[in-house]
Structures are given as structure tokens and as C-alpha cells.
């Protein structure tokens, strides 16, 4: 066990170092802007290692440069914007898992029957849907035409909620305003459409993966033996099959993190969601390379760390790997 | 061939390609999707002849709904947008543009990616690890994020969007190529052939390459659909093709403001992207099933 | 908090909050440091008062922090009598110990004027308007007579001075607050944590997200019926409109013509309109051939189809312009006859001027959308088409706003699509900066047209305090302008604001800007009481009356 952890930690360190080398090389494209972080570059490659060292020091000490948008420290700005993105992404992930797993199981259970075909075609449609269009359609239908969903933002403007944690759902409950509970439900309402938009592609992917994993698990020998022995489709069999199917599903979760972040860029634009995606797009429009560098670095770090965590989780779940000494 | 009775099948083993073709043909959805895709490609190729008007011409009939509406006009099949441009002509030219751009991106990404993949698969450990670490890193980064950072570095606009998306796609090709080659190399028949003294180049071109073809083909279709989507996304964000290019994503970013009074200018370009992506994905799925590959 | 009892009784939170969709974040909360309307909407208009104010919906002045004033015979001495018992805001760090008095006025003006003033360099931003209106050169002394009387001496007579004192940058700050901050070593907070006398005070600001205001409990005109005010900062115009459509915003300013179109068909939206104090025009550089020839300039006036521009570019939300000032400005001369759309006559004039084969022309435009011109490029394309009919070959160049201004100020252009929005509701604010001889030096006279007779007329009008004589002089000036035609005046755009019907008493000010003083919210209507569909006409009769009204400018 400890060995596994140690190995993963090493991989983490290696990946992070590679990352910083990569982002450092990006800064060479625009040395003026990155002076604060990388120090004065002199286009002299002999000094490259020194510059990299200076760069690494800046990054580790939290000096990530100043955003051109409002002059604040890039790292601080990132930390201000990330809770909104995390809240949305977590909701989207939960949405796609809670819907995707059951749908995949139903499809696997009824392989080649109409339920299966329906699910498979739906996933294909969900997978092929350009989410910026999908978002626009949902807003047109539910917000503008039917008026049953909010148009944008995390919460109605009439609620004054102090940003304690940055997570709106928590902050509303923490608020001492008389309308705190009402605000909480309002925040939930505002989460509905963005969650659906962001979660559509992960939903399609989870459904597919669950379906194929379950089909494979159900076709495995010991399940067939159990069925032949006379056990019905009882819950026990399901749990066994599911446990084996879990591995590819968890593997896919780590891939979904990238998908979610890509989706977040577009979703936050459509719904004016004040998260990292919107922040980075602002930076692109203003050619604020310092902010972009910071955002890229931070997000890449998060993705790498999440991937490592999923790797560790897989080791726990997969008995084959677990027993290997 | 099809006249042969079943039990004589062993005297006529269909070649691999034919087997794939037959498998694919049995997949009704995929075949239908292929037809749709062919149709889209034809529209794109013959766009200048199919489109009734030039996509940038502004008529004085602003915001006309499609012809089947009451107040539609028959000369504008799908209506016009806020500047009076015929939507059908724009979409048709948009197909040409999107497919052309995606093709350039995929050719660029695949050629560089496959070359790199071959090199790493056949090289020693150090080169392999170095390149793979870099590829892993780029793969870990969200594709759109990387694309917009590249665009921020080199500026918005069409050629740069192509480079950005191509760069994002290269690692996928490298990974697939390398893994496929390595998998083949570890197979027994290859070891046997090497022991037999086979010429390395001939080994590569005659045996290994054809066997990795399925994986590459599937990756190509995946890349194609990703390219179309990413280019449209960049266009939608204002970082790709600029107005008045009739790129579908760019059209959506312009018509977004008119969603309540001219919803067809939003619905139709989106449908175009959707059906194109759907058909490519279905064909890709069908190919994967036909060639009997694991996901 | 004090709001607790309010919400407990089942009333919806929304009934006590008005949400305004604004188009951007303010640069600062101190209007002295900005020239941007967006900043003023968030600072001077809700948070501060000035000595004088515009009567809502008009360009006439009325008392505000000054109850009355006297002007000396030679027009150089202004005596202001200040209002008593005006309270400043109180916030967590500051509680005023005294009401407003002359010290506050002196602080607010001297901060911008005296380079040696301790607060002069506190901010990195400049005093944009103070410098460009050249108040530093105009004012010779500011003297305190007593706590409620102030004397401002000018170097020469200047009748627009009073109107200038209604402008946002003359907002009155709290001298007491400034002292406290200086002693605490944090003087810059005066610009970011504002204290004023205005109808609302700042509660919280989240950059690029929202600004929260609440009613000033001790406001001198009485506490506002509007409890809470929120500015929802939404730079994307279509999202602004979508929010308004869905009822998430109650008021939306600067709608695009397409939004006005949609809003007109919606039951739950009202469109208010009023003529704007602005003008869009084609400026011809009279120092470059062929625009040094008057006949050519008049030919262009005949060649351009203004009404089709109004339709295509403004979608009919503007009026054709013939004079350099808009019809809602007093002293507007209705009797001036415009050059009609007459390509034949244009061709004849060109022939007479020696240009029977036409000529090549380069028209400059800017890429940004302005209140007086929603689409300069489109306008240029239409003009291009018109001028081709009379043999003039037009090439269009587009520049970014800042670059455009810099280059046209240098006179690099041949012809350019320009515009102007009134700063202070005084006619001089159009004539002097745009058409006077001295303005050819600063470059704001983009036609570089210097006509001594014209300049003399407007200079005289500026120095005399008598409204009737000013009117006569401006009339003569407009007639002369028409004869010489350094421009082709194109349009005066109408200001529109989209409001939710529950908003009551919202008025558009001709000088632009969003004001929430006196605005209230009607409590929620039950579905049974829903109003009938509203026709898209103006809801405010008074602004429309402005074109005929030539009332005396209030002088005391």
C-alpha cells in the first residue's frame, strides 16, 4: 500500500516538474509580461537554468504576477474564481454519475432491446451535441419562453450573500440574512441549467462506459455460472457485476475532469457564471498573458493531482492491483 | 462471393477489408450515417454551385424566417439574418469551410502525430519517456483551454485557430500510434519474423502498419469530429474564424443576440453542426464495431 | 438588521430591490476622476449631489445643494447660498459630526484645482473633466463667505459656468471624511469607499459582478421609496436584454435597436424614449481639397440619403439632423432649411466646382458602438453607396476608438464619421469644442473649419448671461453654419431605456445617464390585474415638449 502511494507521489512530482518546465517555456514567448515571475530574461540561453530557478521560486512563493484586468495578484484572482467553477463542476459530475450509472445499467440489462437502443441513441446524441448550442436552446426554452429557469448568474441579485467560502450553496446557509433559506433554493435553481449543460457530455460518456462495463461483467464466467445455478437477477449478482464494472468507470472519471474544464469555459460564458472559465476568457480577449499563464498552470496542477488521486483510488478498488506487493 | 452456400465458406475466406465492409454494412445506423456524411461532403464540395447567393451579400430583407413560415419568402429557403444575408447560402458555404478546416487540421495533426508516434515506439527508452511525458502533459490539459492559450499567444483568426487545434490533437495521434505499434511489436509473429531474418522496413510496412490501421482509422474519425467541434467552439467564442466568414460557430456567435426574434438563425447552424458531428461519430462507432476493436 | 422585520411578513425579497442591468464596472466611485458615463451612473448619480442640478427630463437648472445664487453684473462673480441641514452618509468607519457646509464645496473643487492640495495626487486617475473644461483657467478664486455662503470668481464672464456646476465632476465630497482618512493614512479610500450626500449610499461592491446600494436614511429630500438598489454588471448586451426579458433586471439602459424591437412586442416590458442630446455627423476636413470648396461640401449634403440611414442603421430610433445642436436643446433654430436628398443637384454643384468626374474620398470610422451611432461602419457603407451615384469614389477605413480620436485630432483624415454627446446641456458645449477657431488648435474641431464671424458669434453668446441675446446669437450661428456646411449633419439618436412595468417614476435625462432618485417599485400585481399590452410609444410627455420650449434658463 505504502509502496503504491510512494510511487504515485513520485509520478506526481515528476509531472509537476514537467509542467513547470512546459509553462516556463511558454513564458519565453512573452518575456516582458513575465518579468515579475521569471526575472529579466536576456535571450541568452546560457542563463536559462537560472531563469527557470527564478521562475520556480516565484511560483512556489505565490508570486504569479498581476492580472491586467484589475491589477490584482493572479493567484489570488484564481482562488477567488475557482469555488464557483468547482461548485458547478461537482454538481455536473454528480448529475452525470447519478443519471449515467442507472441508465448504463438499464441498457446493459436489456441489451439490444428497445431500452438499450434508446439509451445508446441518446448517448450518441448527447455526445454529438455542441454544448454552446445546447445551452442556448435550453435558455431559450426554459428561461425566455417558459420562464421557469433563471437566465444567468449563481443567485438572484436581490439576495445579498457574503462570500465566506465561495460556494454559494454553503454561503447561503451560513448567511444571517432573514432570507437565507429562500436564497439557498434560489441558488439551487440557478444551478439547474448550467449543470445540465455542463453535465451532458459526461453523462453520455458515463452511460456508455457503464453499459459496456456492465455488459462485459454480466457476460463473465462466474456470473453466468451463478445464473445457471439458479440465482435470479437478484441484488447480490448485480452488486458483484457492478463492483467489477466500477473500475473502468472510475478510470473514466479522471478523463472527465478535462472534459468538464473544457465545458466550463463555454458554460460559464453562456450563463455569466463568475468562475475560472469566464475569467480566463476575459484574459484572452484582453491578451492578458500573465493571467492565462497563471490559469493554465493552476488548472494543469489540479488536473494532474486529480488524476493521481483517481489512480490511487483505482488501486484501492481493483483487487488485482491491491494484492500485488 | 455472396452466392456461395454457407458450408463452403472456408474456401472463400473474405479478405480483411471485405470483412470490415460487410460488418459495417450490417450496421444500419452506421450505414445511414455514412450516407448522410457523404451528402454533407458533397454539399461542401459543390457549395458554390448549390448556394443560390454569395454568403456575404446583404439584402434589404432583414430577419426573414424560413420559407415554410407564413411570412417567409421562397427565395430565401432558410430565411435571412439580421444583415439580410441568405442563411442557406451561409450554411452551405459554412459546410465547405468547416470541413476544409477540419481536414487541414486532421492532416496536420495526424501526419506529425503519427510520425512522432512511430519514432517513439521504435526508439530507446529515454526518447520514448521524454516524448511520452510531454504528450501526457498536453493530454492532461483540457483541449479547449490549451487552444485558447495558443490563440492568445499567436492571435485570433483563422490560420491560428487551425494551428491551435492541430497542436491540441497531435498527442492523441502520438499515443494511439505508439501504443498500437508497441502492441504489435510484442506479438509473437513479429518476434518470429525477426528471428527469421526479415528486413525491418518490410516488416514494418507489410505487417505492422496494416495491423495498426484500424486503430488509426478510428482515431482519424474521432479527430475529425473533435476538430469540427473545436473550430466551431473557437468561432463561437470569437477566437476562430472572424466575421463575415460563414463558419458555423461564428454564425452562432453573431446570431446569439437575435435568439428571441430570429430563432432560426440560432437553431439551423446548430443543427448543421449537430448532424455533421452525429454522422461522423456514428460512422466512427460503426468502424470500431466493424473492425472488432476494443474501446 | 433593520431589514429583518420587513421580510418576515411574507413579502417577497424582490419587492424591495430594484435591479439595474449596467453595461460595465465603474473605474472609481469618485466622479471627479472619470469622464465615463458608466462610472457616473454608479457614483455621482446615486451617491452625490452637486450645487445645481438638471430638472428631471430637461436641460434646465434647478437648485440642489445651493438654494439660490447671484451673478454679478459683469458675470465674473458667482455667489452661492448653500442649503442647511444636509446630512452625509454614515458607514462602518465614518460618522459625520456636522451637516454639509461651504468647506465641503471648497474641498471638492480645490482638490481638482490646486496642484499642491494634499488630495490632488492621491489617485492614479486624472481629473478628466476639470482639465478639459479648463476650469483651472477659468476660476480665479474660491472664497468662503461663511458656513453657508460661497463666492467663486471667474477670470472672465462665462455663461455656461452654471451648467458646468451641474456636471458630475463637480460632485460634493465630504471634507470631514477626507480629513479623517488623511489622519488615518488611507486617503485613497475617499475614491473607493465613497461618502456623499446623495439619495443612496454604497453597501458593497464586487468588481465585474454587482454594486449594492441602499437608501440614505437622512437624505435631504427625504428618504427614497426605493429600499435597495443593485447594479448587475453585465457587459454583454444580449445577456443584458435576456435578463431584462426574464424579469431578472428591472431597468436596462443602452438597448440595441433589436432589443427595442423585441421589447415593444412584450407585455412585461415598457420602452421609454426621449431625444438624446447628441449628434452624429460626417465631418469634412476643410483644410484638404476638395473640401475647401463650399460647393463641394453642399453637394455632399445633397447626395446623402439621411432617411435611409435612419432606417437601416438606427432602425428608426433617431431623427434626421440639420443643425449642429439637437432639437431638444434650447436655442435650436427650427427655421433653418436643410439640404434635401437630391443627387441631381449634387452632381450639378460638383460640376460647377470643377469636379464633374467626381473624386476619390477616404472616410474614416470607428469600430466601437456609441450612443449617437450604433454602427458607424454600416453608416459609412450606406454613404459609400450614395456617393457612388454622384461619381465620388469612397474608401472606408475603420479604427479603434482611442486611435480614431487621436488621428482625427491631428487632422490626418479626409472625412470622418464623428459624433458628440452633450456634457452639460448648454448649447455652447456643442459650438465651442466642435466648431470654434480655437478648437482647431486642440483638434476637437474635426472639420478644422475656422470662420471668424461664426467664432465671434459663439464667443459673444458664451460671455453674455442674457438668455434671449444668447438665443439670437446662436440662431445667427446656425444660419451661418448651414451656408458654410463644414459637416453633413446626419442624426440625433433617441435615448431608450427598457423598464419593467413595476418600476414607477423612471425619467430619462436628456444629458444621458441613469438616475434612481424618486423611483419606486409597484408591489407585485396579481395575474388578474395584468395590464393590457403596451404600445411602444414614449411614456414621458415632457421631454418631447422640449423642441418647442424655449424657456428661460433658471438663473436664480
* B260 lies within 8 A of chain C by CB: yes
pTM score: 0.79
Q: CB B192: neighbour CB atoms within 10 A?
A: 10
Which of C384, C492, C374, C486 lies closest to C435 in space, CA to CA? C486
C77 and C168 in a single domain? The answer is: yes
Pick the residue with more confidence: A15 or A29?
A15
The CATH number covering residue C408 comes to 3.10.105.10
Instruction: Return residues 117-136 of A near C (CB < 8 Å).
Output: none
Residues from chain B contacting residue A287 (CB–CB below 8 Å): 152
Q: How high is the pLDDT of residue B295?
A: 39
DSSP C266-287: -TT-EEEEEE-SEEEEEEE-TT
Instruction: Mention every residue, 6+ apart, whose C-beta is less than 8 A from residue C81.
Output: C66, C67, C68, C69, C148, C149
Q: Where is average pLDDT lowest: A291-300, A303-312, B167-176, C85-94?
A: A303-312
* A160 lies within 8 A of chain C by CB: yes
Distance CA(C245)–CA(A144), nearest Å, equals: 7
Distance CA(C284)–CA(C224), nearest Å, equals: 49
Residue of C nearest to A181 (CA): C13
- Going residue by residue through chain C (556 aa), what tens digit of pLDDT does each one get? 333 333 333 457 888 899 999 988 888 899 988 877 888 899 999 999 999 998 887 777 899 999 999 998 888 899 999 999 999 999 888 999 999 999 999 999 999 888 888 888 887 777 877 877 778 888 899 999 999 999 999 998 888 888 889 888 899 999 999 999 999 988 888 888 999 999 999 999 988 889 999 999 999 998 999 999 999 998 888 888 889 988 899 999 878 887 888 888 888 899 998 888 899 999 999 999 899 999 999 999 999 999 988 888 888 889 999 999 998 888 899 999 999 999 999 999 999 999 888 899 999 998 777 778 888 888 998 898 889 889 999 988 888 777 788 888 888 899 999 998 887 788 988 998 889 888 887 778 889 999 999 999 998 888 887 888 999 999 999 999 999 999 999 999 888 899 999 999 998 887 778 899 889 888 765 444 344 444 443 343 433 333 333 333 333 2
**Chain B contact partners (≥3 CB pairs within 8 A):** A, C
Question: Contact at 8 Å (CB) between C218 and C87?
Answer: yes
Q: First vs last Cα of chain B: how many Å apart?
A: 31
Q: How high is the pLDDT of residue C264?
A: 86
C164 and C210 in a single domain? The answer is: no
Question: Contact at 8 Å (CB) between A116 and A107?
Answer: yes
Which of A59, A70, A135 lies closest to A283 in space, CA to CA? A70
Distance CA(B157)–CA(B241), nearest Å, equals: 5
> Looking at residue B10, what DSSP letter applies?
G
Phi first, then psi: give them for residue C165, nearest 5 degrees: -70, -5
Residues from chain A contacting residue C203 (CB–CB below 8 Å): 160
Distance CA(C150)–CA(C127), nearest Å, equals: 22
Distance CA(C206)–CA(C210), nearest Å, equals: 5
Pick the residue with more confidence: C521 or A66?
C521
Q: How high is the pLDDT of residue C9?
A: 38
Work out how many CB contacts closer than 8 A connect A with B.
118
Locate all alpha helices (DSSP H) within chain B, ordered by sequence: 16-26, 28-45, 47-50, 87-122, 125-140, 143-154, 158-185, 188-195, 200-202, 209-236, 248-255, 264-290
Cell of B63: 430577419
Task: Establish whether the linkage from the previous residue to C501 is cis, with ω within 30° of 0.
Answer: no
Q: How high is the pLDDT of residue C526?
A: 42
Q: How high is the pLDDT of residue B156?
A: 74
- Domain end position, chosen among C494, C516, C541: C494
- Domain end position, chosen among C134, C160, C186: C186
Q: How high is the pLDDT of residue B125?
A: 77
**Chain C contact partners (≥3 CB pairs within 8 A):** A, B
Question: Contact at 8 Å (CB) between C384 and C394?
Answer: yes
**Dihedral sign of CA atoms C29, C34, C40, C45 in order:** positive
Pick the residue with more confidence: B221 or C525?
B221
Residues from chain B contacting residue A207 (CB–CB below 8 Å): none
Q: How high is the pLDDT of residue C399?
A: 80
C96 and C72 in a single domain? The answer is: yes
Whether domain B81-294 has CATH 3.40.50.1220: the reply is: no
pLDDT in tens, A218-275: 777 777 777 677 666 666 667 777 777 787 888 888 788 888 988 999 999 889 899 9
Q: How high is the pLDDT of residue B9?
A: 52
C290 and C371 in a single domain? The answer is: yes
- Yes or no, beta carbons of A133 and B252 under 8 Å apart: yes
Distance CA(C484)–CA(C452), nearest Å, equals: 12
The CATH number covering residue C223 comes to 3.40.190.10
C285 and C427 in a single domain? The answer is: yes
What CA dihedral angle connects C537, C538, C539 and C541, to 10 degrees?
Answer: -130
When CB atoms are compared, the residue of C7, C209, C242 closest to A179 is C7
Residues from chain B contacting residue C245 (CB–CB below 8 Å): 260
Q: CB C62: neighbour CB atoms within 10 A?
A: 12
Task: Establish whether the linkage from the previous residue to A94 is cis, with ω within 30° of 0.
Answer: no
Question: Contact at 8 Å (CB) between B141 and B170?
Answer: no
In the predicted model, what is the mean pLDDT of residues B60-64? Answer: 75
When CB atoms are compared, the residue of A156, A158, A274 closest to C209 is A274
The CATH number covering residue C135 comes to 3.90.76.10
Q: Give one word for A214, left, alpha or beta, with left for phi > 0 and alpha for psi -120 to 50.
A: alpha
Residues from chain B contacting residue A281 (CB–CB below 8 Å): 148, 237
C457 and C321 in a single domain? The answer is: yes
Phi first, then psi: give them for residue C254, nearest 5 degrees: 50, 50
C142 and C56 in a single domain? The answer is: yes
In the predicted model, what is the mean pLDDT of residues B51-80? Answer: 80
Which of A182, A203, A231, A192 lies closest to A127 in space, CA to CA? A203
What CA dihedral angle connects B70, B76, B78 and B82, to 10 degrees?
Answer: -90
- Yes or no, beta carbons of B256 and C258 under 8 Å apart: no
The 3-state DSSP class for residue C201 equals: strand
When CB atoms are compared, the residue of C8, C207, C242 closest to A70 is C207
Q: Give one word for C358, left, alpha or beta, with left for phi > 0 and alpha for psi -120 to 50.
A: left
C89 and C60 in a single domain? The answer is: yes
ipTM of the assembly? 0.83
- Domain end position, chosen among C494, C525, C544: C494
Is C41 part of any domain? no
Q: How high is the pLDDT of residue C537?
A: 38
pLDDT in tens, C118-145: 888 887 777 877 877 778 888 899 999 9
Question: Contact at 8 Å (CB) between A160 and A172?
Answer: no
Parallel, antiparallel or unpaired: strands C228-233 and C487-499: unpaired
Distance CA(C525)–CA(C534), nearest Å, equals: 16
- Yes or no, beta carbons of B261 and C261 under 8 Å apart: yes
Residues from chain B contacting residue C256 (CB–CB below 8 Å): 257
Is C43 part of any domain? no
Cell of C541: 410627455
DSSP B97-123: HHHHHHHHHHHHHHHHHHHHHHHHHHS
Parallel, antiparallel or unpaired: strands C251-253 and C17-22: parallel
Quote the domain boundaries for residue C341.
Answer: 278-494
* Alpha carbon of C171: minimum distance to chain A alpha carbons (Å): 26
Which residues of C have a CB under 8 Å from any CB of B? 237-238, 241-242, 245, 256, 258, 261-262
Average pLDDT, chain B: 82
Q: Which residues pair with C62 in a beta bridge?
A: C53
Which of C54, C216, C163, C107 lies closest to C467 in space, CA to CA? C163
Number of domains in chain C: 3
Q: How high is the pLDDT of residue A325?
A: 44
Cell of C169: 465632476
C430 and C510 in a single domain? The answer is: no
When CB atoms are compared, the residue of A283, A295, A300 closest to B140 is A300
- Yes or no, beta carbons of A133 and B266 under 8 Å apart: yes
C414 and C504 in a single domain? The answer is: no
What CA dihedral angle connects A311, A317, A321 and A323, to 10 degrees?
Answer: 140
Displacement of CA A108 from its chain's centroid (Å): 26
From the CA atom positions of chain A, what is the Rg in Å? 23
Residues from chain A contacting residue B247 (CB–CB below 8 Å): none
Residues from chain B contacting residue A311 (CB–CB below 8 Å): none
Distance CA(B193)–CA(C317), nearest Å, equals: 81
> Looking at residue A160, what DSSP letter applies?
-
Amino acid at each position: 500500500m505504502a509502496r503504491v502511494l510512494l510511487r504515485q507521489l513520485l509520478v506526481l512530482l515528476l509531472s509537476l516538474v514537467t509542467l513547470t518546465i512546459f509553462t516556463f517555456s511558454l513564458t519565453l514567448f512573452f518575456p516582458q509580461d513575465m518579468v515579475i515571475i521569471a526575472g529579466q530574461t536576456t535571450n541568452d540561453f546560457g542563463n536559462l537554468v537560472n531563469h527557470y530557478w527564478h521562475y520556480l521560486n516565484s511560483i512556489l512563493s505565490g508570486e504569479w504576477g498581476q492580472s491586467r484586468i484589475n491589477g490584482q495578484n493572479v493567484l489570488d484572482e484564481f482562488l477567488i474564481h475557482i469555488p464557483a467553477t468547482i461548485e458547478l463542476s461537482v454538481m455536473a459530475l454528480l448529475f452525470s454519475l447519478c443519471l449515467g450509472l442507472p441508465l448504463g445499467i438499464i441498457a446493459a440489462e436489456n441489451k439490444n432491446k428497445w431500452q438499450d437502443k434508446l439509451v445508446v441513441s441518446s448517448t450518441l446524441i448527447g455526445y454529438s451535441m455542441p454544448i454552446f448550442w445546447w445551452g442556448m436552446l435550453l435558455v431559450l426554452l426554459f428561461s425566455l419562453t417558459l420562464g421557469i429557469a433563471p437566465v444567468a448568474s449563481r443567485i438572484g441579485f436581490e439576495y445579498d450573500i457574503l462570500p465566506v467560502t465561495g460556494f454559494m450553496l454553503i454561503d447561503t446557509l451560513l448567511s444571517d440574512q432573514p432570507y437565507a433559506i429562500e436564497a439557498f433554493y434560489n441558488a439551487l435553481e440557478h444551478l439547474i441549467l448550467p449543470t445540465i449543460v455542463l453535465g451532458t457530455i459526461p453523462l453520455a460518456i458515463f452511460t456508455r462506459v457503464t453499459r459496456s462495463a456492465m455488459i462485459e461483467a454480466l457476460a463473465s464466467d462466474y456470473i453466468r455460472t451463478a445464473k445457471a445455478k439458479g440465482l435470479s437477477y437478484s441484488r447480490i449478482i448485480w452488486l458483484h457485476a457492478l463492483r467489477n464494472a466500477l473500475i473502468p468507470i472510475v478510470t473514466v472519471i479522471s478523463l472527465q475532469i478535462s472534459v468538464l474544464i473544457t465545458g466550463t469555459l463555454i458554460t460559464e460564458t453562456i450563463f455569466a457564471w463568475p468562475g475560472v472559465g469566464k475569467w480566463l476568457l476575459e484574459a484572452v480577449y484582453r491578451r492578458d498573458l500573465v493571467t492565462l499563464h497563471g490559469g493554465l498552470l493552476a488548472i494543469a496542477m489540479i488536473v494532474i493531482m486529480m488524476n493521481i488521486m483517481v489512480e490511487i483510488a483505482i488501486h484501492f478498488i481493483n483487487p488485482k492491483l491491491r494484492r500485488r506487493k | 462471393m455472396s452466392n456461395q452456400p454457407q458450408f463452403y465458406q472456408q474456401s472463400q475466406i473474405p479478405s480483411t477489408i471485405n470483412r470490415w465492409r460487410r460488418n459495417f454494412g450490417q450496421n444500419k445506423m452506421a450505414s445511414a450515417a455514412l450516407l448522410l456524411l457523404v451528402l454533407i461532403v458533397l454539399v461542401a464540395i459543390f457549395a458554390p454551385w448549390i448556394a443560390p447567393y454569395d454568403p456575404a451579400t446583404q439584402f434589404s430583407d432583414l430577419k426573414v424566417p424560413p420559407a415554410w413560415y407564413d411570412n417567409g419568402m421562397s427565395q430565401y429557403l432558410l430565411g435571412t439574418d439580421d444583415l439580410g444575408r441568405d442563411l442557406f447560402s451561409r450554411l452551405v458555404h459554412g459546410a465547405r469551410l468547416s470541413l476544409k478546416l477540419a481536414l487541414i487540421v486532421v492532416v496536420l495533426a495526424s501526419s506529425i502525430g503519427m510520425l512522432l508516434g512511430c519514432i517513439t515506439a521504435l526508439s530507446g527508452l529515454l526518447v520514448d519517456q521524454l516524448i511520452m511525458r510531454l504528450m501526457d502533459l498536453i493530454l492532461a490539459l483540457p483541449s479547449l483551454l490549451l487552444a485558447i492559450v495558443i490563440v492568445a499567444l499567436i492571435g485570433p483568426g483563422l490560420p491560428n485557430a487551425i494551428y491551435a487545434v492541430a497542436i491540441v490533437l497531435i498527442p492523441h495521434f502520438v499515443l494511439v500510434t505508439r501504443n498500437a505499434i508497441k502492441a504489435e511489436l510484442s506479438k509473437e509473429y513479429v518476434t518470429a519474423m525477426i528471428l527469421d531474418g526479415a528486413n525491418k522496413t518490410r516488416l514494418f510496412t507489410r505487417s505492422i502498419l496494416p495491423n495498426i490501421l484500424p486503430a488509426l482509422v478510428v482515431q482519424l474519425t474521432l479527430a475529425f469530429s473533435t476538430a469540427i467541434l473545436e473550430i466551431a467552439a473557437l468561432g463561437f467564442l470569437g477566437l476562430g474564424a472572424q466575421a463575415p466568414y460563414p463558419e458555423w460557430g461564428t454564425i452562432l456567435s453573431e446570431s446569439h443576440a437575435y435568439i428571441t426574434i430570429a430563432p432560426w438563425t440560432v437553431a439551423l447552424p446548430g443543427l448543421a453542426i449537430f448532424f455533421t458531428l452525429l454522422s461522423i461519430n456514428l460512422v466512427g462507432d460503426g468502424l470500431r464495431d466493424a473492425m472488432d476493436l476494443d474501446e | 438588521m433593520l431589514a429583518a422585520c420587513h421580510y418576515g411578513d411574507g413579502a417577497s425579497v424582490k419587492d424591495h430591490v430594484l435591479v439595474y442591468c449596467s453595461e460595465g464596472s465603474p473605474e472609481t466611485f469618485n466622479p471627479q476622476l472619470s469622464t465615463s458615463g458608466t462610472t457616473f451612473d454608479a457614483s455621482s448619480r446615486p451617491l452625490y449631489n452637486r450645487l445645481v442640478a438638471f430638472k428631471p427630463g430637461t436641460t434646465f437648472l434647478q437648485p440642489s445643494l445651493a438654494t439660490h445664487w447671484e451673478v454679478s453684473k459683469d458675470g465674473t462673480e458667482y455667489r452661492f447660498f448653500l442649503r442647511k441641514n444636509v446630512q452625509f452618509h454614515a458607514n462602518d468607519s465614518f460618522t459625520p459630526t456636522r451637516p454639509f457646509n461651504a468647506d465641503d464645496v471648497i474641498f471638492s473643487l480645490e482638490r481638482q484645482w490646486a496642484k499642491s492640495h494634499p488630495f490632488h495626487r492621491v489617485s492614479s486617475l486624472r481629473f478628466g473633466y476639470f482639465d478639459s473644461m479648463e476650469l483651472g483657467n477659468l476660476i480665479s478664486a474660491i472664497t468662503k463667505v461663511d458656513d453657508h455662503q460661497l463666492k467663486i470668481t471667474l477670470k472672465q464672464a462665462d455663461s455656461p459656468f452654471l451648467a458646468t456646476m451641474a456636471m458630475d465632476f463637480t460632485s460634493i465630497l465630504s471634507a470631514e471624511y477626507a480629513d479623517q482618512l488623511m489622519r488615518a493614512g488611507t486617503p485613497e479610500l475617499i475614491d473607493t469607499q465613497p461618502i456623499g450626500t446623495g439619495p443612496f449610499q454604497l453597501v458593497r461592491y464586487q468588481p465585474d459582478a454587482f454594486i449594492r446600494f441602499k437608501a440614505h436614511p437622512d437624505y435631504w429630500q427625504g428618504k427614497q421609496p426605493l429600499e435597495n438598489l443593485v447594479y448587475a454588471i453585465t457587459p454583454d448586451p444580449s445577456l443584458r436584454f435576456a435578463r431584462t426579458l426574464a424579469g431578472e433586471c428591472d431597468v436596462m439602459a443602452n438597448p440595441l435597436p433589436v432589443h427595442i424591437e423585441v421589447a415593444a412586442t412584450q407585455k412585461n416590458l415598457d420602452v421609454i424614449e426621449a431625444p438624446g442630446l447628441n449628434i452624429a455627423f460626417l465631418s469634412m476636413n476643410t483644410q484638404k481639397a476638395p473640401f475647401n470648396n463650399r460647393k463641394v461640401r453642399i453637394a455632399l449634403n445633397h447626395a446623402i440619403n439621411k432617411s435611409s440611414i435612419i432606417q437601416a442603421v438606427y432602425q428608426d430610433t433617431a431623427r434626421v439632423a440639420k443643425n449642429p445642436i439637437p432639437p431638444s436643446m434650447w436655442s435650436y433654430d427650427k427655421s433653418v432649411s436643410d439640404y434635401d436628398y437630391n443627387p441631381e443637384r449634387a452632381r450639378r454643384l460638383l460640376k460647377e466646382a470643377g469636379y464633374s468626374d467626381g473624386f476619390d474620398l477616404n472616410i474614416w470610422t470607428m469600430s466601437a458602438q456609441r450612443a449617437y451611432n450604433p454602427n458607424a461602419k454600416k453608416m459609412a457603407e450606406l454613404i459609400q453607396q450614395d456617393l457612388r451615384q454622384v461619381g465620388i469614389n469612397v474608401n472606408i477605413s475603420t479604427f479603434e476608438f482611442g486611435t480614431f480620436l487621436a488621428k482625427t485630432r491631428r487632422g490626418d483624415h479626409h472625412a470622418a464619421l464623428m459624433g458628440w454627446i452633450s456634457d452639460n446641456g448648454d448649447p455652447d458645449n456643442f459650438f465651442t469644442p466642435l466648431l470654434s477657431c480655437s478648437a482647431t488648435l486642440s483638434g476637437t474641431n474635426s472639420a478644422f473649419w475656422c470662420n471668424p464671424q461664426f467664432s465671434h458669434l459663439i464667443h459673444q453668446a458664451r460671455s453674455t448671461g442674457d438668455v434671449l441675446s444668447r438665443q439670437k446669437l446662436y440662431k445667427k450661428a446656425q444660419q451661418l453654419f448651414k451656408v458654410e456646411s463644414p459637416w453633413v449633419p446626419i442624426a440625433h439618436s433617441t435615448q431608450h431605456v427598457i423598464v419593467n412595468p413595476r418600476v414607477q417614476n423612471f425619467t430619462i435625462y436628456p444629458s444621458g445617464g441613469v438616475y434612481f432618485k424618486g423611483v419606486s417599485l409597484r408591489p407585485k400585481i396579481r395575474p388578474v390585474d395584468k395590464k393590457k399590452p403596451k404600445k411602444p410609444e414614449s411614456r414621458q410627455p415632457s421631454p418631447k415638449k422640449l423642441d418647442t420650449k424655449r424657456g428661460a434658463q433658471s438663473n436664480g
